[in-house]
Amino acid sequence: MNSVNPFKSRAFRLSFFLCLPGVFLAFPNPVLQIPFFIFLFFIGLNLIAFKASSGAEAFRWSLTTAGTAYALGLYWIVVPVYVYGDFPLILAVFCPLLLGFVLGLFSSAYVALLYISQKSFSWFWLGLFAGSLWASIEFAREFALSGFPWLITAQAFSVWPKTIQSVSLIGSFGMGFILACAGLWLFCRKKMSAVFGVLLITVVLGYGFLTGDEEFSGPSKDILVVQGNIEQDKKWEEEFQLKTVNKYQELTLAGLGDKAPDLVIWPETALPFYFQEQNRLSLMIEDFVLEQNINVITGSPAYEVLADGSGYKLHNRAYWISPQGRIIDHYDKERLVPFGEYIPFSEYLFFLDRMVASSVDFSPGKYTSPMSQENLAIGMLICYEIIFPGLVRDRVAQGANLLVNISNDAWFGRTSAPKQHLHLSVLRAVEQGRYIVRSTNTGISAFIDPRGRVYKDTPLFKDSALRGKVHLIESTTFYHRWHWPIHWAFVGLSALFLLVHFLRSGYRRA
């Protein structure tokens, strides 16, 4: 087996052409989404683990394969980097490849560890090891290298909400455990392993069909979501700011009807100016809210002057404006987008400054408790904060009975990114047993119930005023209550398998 040119290996070529459609077609894409294709990805990775001639070769092969597959699924990154980051196209194409290969490092760790352990266990135990190892690696992806749990395996099935109901018990990473375990059992091509694999998939994906279509009760709120559909490259121009304010007011008036809703939600940075300052535009917003007697949550950039007066900090902020036209609460984004809102290691990567929306890096917020009024406690999540299970879990732990995600996906154009983003929100709704209301600038704005059903949504790039009813829920899911034991059980189980392997290897050598 030639490790210099892996494409001379039939096993490598086969794994490569299994993994690429396994990622690209399993998740939202411009062609066709088939969630079960995620098993092609696992089969491709397992093939490398079983056919490589060394651990180093297994790592290199899987990095090439998985990195390319992830880059294909993240093709949309080219759009914000090329169109709005003003990078040359050749460099913009390099960006999804770079991020894809970063994600590929985690898959390569899975393959390398599976390679070295394969001879120590029978197919049954090897499947459990593969599952626990994969769940541990996806868990690590939430935190390592700034964190980017996008294209996690459970996300593939979000398009079919009934199939992901098990995440309310074991979380998204727990579902990744099931899929990886079943994927290895199917790969083994033994009669019993195939039976076990199919049975496991059937039970886990079929769990939602047994629980029925639950209807939710309790206190309800009538909410209006406004999708302004403002062009990203114009919204910050001074002459366009007035048009933006007028447009949000007009769309809101169109959605109010005869009875005002309990809450109106505008997207992330819907107000492309500093709303905290007293100026013509901010006074227009305050007068409008006062006149219509409505509660409004809206996004706007904000700043905070440093105590010593030496400078200021920028924040990506959500304001709650009361019917009296006053700011009664706010939330500053806690988890910032690397290279979008700040530059990691900026002293070395200074040449990437133009990718940040401001000439100064944004700063994370510190006060993350729910924004509350009467019986409503909103767990606010701005933009891609919704993709982090731990962050959403924290909001519920702090008392949120409704989750609100405001975002601006205009950066990504007519790509698959907005739908991939929506599908991650669906996972969070089921994990935490909460309604989620999404308000985005260009779509997809949506209402999602605690079973992951998107019962109202908007098309991309269309002016919209979407109104829906949500219920305020206080109870928590099994996963919410037991998340740490579940996650660390996967890590502990992986460590135990590795320990047994090394002990057996030492015994055989002796």
Q: 178-201 pLDDT, tens per residue?
A: 999 999 999 998 899 999 999 999
Residues 126-149 have a mean pLDDT of 95
Catalytic residue among 51, 221, 235, 333: 333
Is 333 tagged catalytic?
A: yes
261 and 377 share a domain? yes
Residue pLDDT, tens place only, 93-121: 999 999 999 999 999 999 999 999 998 99
For 290, other C-beta atoms within 10 Å of its C-beta total 15
- Confidence (pLDDT) at 6: 65
If asked whether residues 193 and 256 sit together in one domain, one would say no
Helix H segments across 53-211? 55-73, 78-79, 89-117, 123-141, 167-187, 191-211
Which of 57, 138, 142, 268 is catalytic? The answer is 268
Answer whether residue 348 shows pLDDT above 80.
no
User: Who's near 343: CB < 8 A, 6+ residues apart?
Assistant: 349, 350, 352, 353, 355, 356, 361
**Residue 405: per-residue pLDDT:** 98
Candidates 144, 122, 380, 155; CA nearest to 267 is: 380
Average pLDDT, the chain: 91
Is 228 in the same domain as 152? no
505 lies in some domain: yes
Residue 95's domain spans which residues?
6-212+482-509
**Residue 433 counted as domain residue:** yes
State the Cα–Cα distance between residues 92 and 80, nearest whole angstrom.
9
Query: Is 234 a residue of the active site?
Result: no
The reply to whether 244 falls in a domain is yes
Give me the pLDDT at residue 395, please: 97
Kindly state whether residue 424 falls inside one of the protein's structural domains: yes
Does pLDDT of 36 surpass 80?
yes
Whether pLDDT at 402 is above 50: yes
Whether omega before 77 lies within 30 degrees of 0, making that bond cis, reads no
Give tens-digit pLDDT for 232-250: 777 777 788 999 999 999 9
- The verdict on 165 and 295 lying in the same domain is no
Determine, yes or no, domain membership for 477: no
Domain identity same for 276 and 169: no
Say if 475 falls within a structural domain.
no
Do 235 and 371 lie in a common domain?
A: yes
Asked if 395 and 403 count as a contact pair (C-beta separation under 8 A), the reply is yes
Does residue 189 sit within a domain?
Answer: yes
User: Rounded to 5 degrees, what angle do the CA atoms 133, 138, 141 make?
Assistant: 130
Q: What angle do CA 178, 394, 206 make, to 5 degrees?
A: 25
Pair 99, 199 in one domain: yes
Residue 352 banded pLDDT, cuts 50, 70, 90: low
If asked whether residues 163 and 290 sit together in one domain, one would say: no
Residues 135 and 257 in one domain: no
Q: Is pLDDT of 458 > 90? A: yes
pLDDT at 128: 97
pLDDT at 353: 54
β-pairing, 371-373 with 376-382?
A: antiparallel
What CATH number is attached to the domain comprising 363? Answer: 3.60.110.10
Q: Who contacts 413 (Cβ-Cβ below 8 Å, separation ≥6)?
A: 76, 79, 83
297 DSSP β-pair partners: 265, 320
Confidence of residue 1 (pLDDT cuts 50, 70, 90): very low
H/E segment holding residue 376 = strand 376-382
Q: Which of 383, 385, 419, 431 is catalytic?
A: 383
φ and ψ at residue 68, rounded to 5 degrees: -65, -40
Tell me, yes or no, whether 426 and 491 share the same domain: no
Contacts 24+ apart (CB under 8 A), 335-338: 335/147, 335/364, 335/384, 335/385, 335/388, 335/391, 336/362, 336/363, 336/364, 337/383, 337/384, 338/146
pLDDT at 2: 46
How many domains are contained in the chain?
A: 2
Do 457 and 416 share a structural domain? yes
Whether 138 is catalytic is no
Q: Is residue 307 part of a domain?
A: yes
What is the β-pairing status of strands 296-305 and 312-321? antiparallel
Most confident of 51-55, 236-240, 394-398: 394-398
Same domain, 501 and 430: no
Model pLDDT, residue 485: 96
Answer whether residue 308 shows pLDDT above 90: no
Q: Cβ distance 327 to 320 under 8 Å?
A: yes
